[in-house]
Structure 1
Amino acid sequence: MTGFGQEDAATTFDPLRPKLIRVAYRMLGSVADAEDMVQEAFIRWIRADRPSVREPEAFLRRTVTRLCLDQLKSARRQRETYVGPWLPDPVVEEEQEEDVTLPLMLALERLSPLERAAFLLHDVFGLGFEEVAETIQRDPAACRQLAARARSHVREARPRFKVDQQHGLELATAFFTASRSGDMKALGAMLAADVSIHADGGGKRSAAIKPILGLEAVMNVHEHLAALFIKHGSHLVHTGFVNGLPGFVTREADGELQTTALEIEDGKVVAIYVVRNPDKLKHLH
């Protein structure tokens, strides 16, 4: 393949890359894997008979989705041996991303790869079932069933309460301040009675092996952590939206980054998602 051929391929591909990464990340929950799938799609695009492709975006979306379906099979096996709760790689943005929030991504983990693809392509990315069918190589009626099954599974995970962006960021800042300074009264006032903590250390940094459930247990954990934060430090790097939820990035005493995302309902924090696994934070550096 000549250099001109590659440049020609890149001219079409590069403007579509962000959209393709978006599809792949929502399929896989891993930034590195999403980038790998999109790069593999580019290699296939270079080799393709490009003049015969009427709609490059549809062709590339199909290619990326099929690569992700293959990748999901091996990812499932890896998840079975994962140490502690698994959370998707944190994506930190300035604006709130509302189509696929972190709780919804966790709900997608419980779907089969085909259900996940049908739901994302139709319900999130707005494709018709004819194109979904062509992408996942099933007939449209089967794709409708897959999406309907997926919808019933993930209905509870879709945001029921729209959180005002500014209020969400203010709550995240207040949560950081109270949790790091040991102001347990202020912290307790922000938490719902059924609040939970989900911490992903991946066996590489200390984190609870199981979710911590209920206000009393969560407060006990934060009282213990506050003593460590006061002694060793925990520095705010950025406040923003982590996978669509208000949250923040910190640099902890070991020099590593950490993300905290807060799920909020009725003005109270109902879930705290903490990613500590350094493999999932590399892209944030």
Structure 2
Amino acid sequence: MKKNQETGIHVKEVSEITGLSRQVIRKWEDRYAIISPKRHENGYRLYSMEDVSTLMKICSLRDKGYSLQQAIHVFKNQKPIHSVVQETVSEYVQTLLEKGYNYDEAGLLLLLKQAHHRYGLETFLSNTVKPLMLEIGKMWAEGKWDESQETITSLVIRDFLVQIRRNFDVAEEAPLILGCCLPHETHEIPLHIILLHAMMHGSKTIASGPSPKLSSIEHLVQCLKPSKLLLSATTTIPFEEDPKLFEKLEGIAERNPGTEFYLGGQGAFNQEIFLSPKRVQLVYTVEDILT
């Protein structure tokens, strides 16, 4: 890294150090005032090592599970507004990974049933399903699993969670929560996990399939009239495919004022700096939706 102590560091080098795009760095600077670069006489921003350190600390907090707003709050106040709970991983996770690696659908299903019966639904979701999905994603990203291993294992897990939802009894008069992936989003499991949490809190739930059209989402809202719509974005692909997607969601929410609109998922969190929510609320936990 080339740095002149009197002039500072250029945004290109800050981007390389932190892994943040130049656009994101400038957005964070303008919107949250967490860094204060100087200006060169030619107009270029010049960042200090303290600015770089601040950005890296914010990134580190986000990696631990904080939303951007939470991470900034923690950094500014030097104390968390929420503790990031580290769940104990169940002993089934490693064996489930071995079954998935060997395409053993029957073995996967049996172990999922055993873990569910042993721990109960809430703990099963937190100590088995969530860490299992994180490990699968890590294995696939590192090239240790091929696409077929990831797909087959994920399908077994998804189908198991769907079956639990279908057999979950809730009161007929319970409020309805509709869950939908965003267009071009095919990862359904996080959505089913959240809907199961909502059912444990007394809500009825309905889930659409992966990658629905926006028109289909609005049609479901108009037909079912849910009290709440939960939109899931595990990846940033929906926003990359349609840069106007969030504005279109805001339009749907405006046309359907009887339903509360929520958007969550890592893909949404990674885009939040570019979003200006009005009717669609960004949420980070199940409690944000239920309360």
Where on the TM-score scale, by shorter chain, does this alignment land: which range? under 0.3
If asked which structure has higher relative contact order (CA below 8 Å, sep 6+), I would say 1
* TM-score under structure 1 length normalisation: 0.27
Provide TM-score, normalisation by structure 2.
0.27
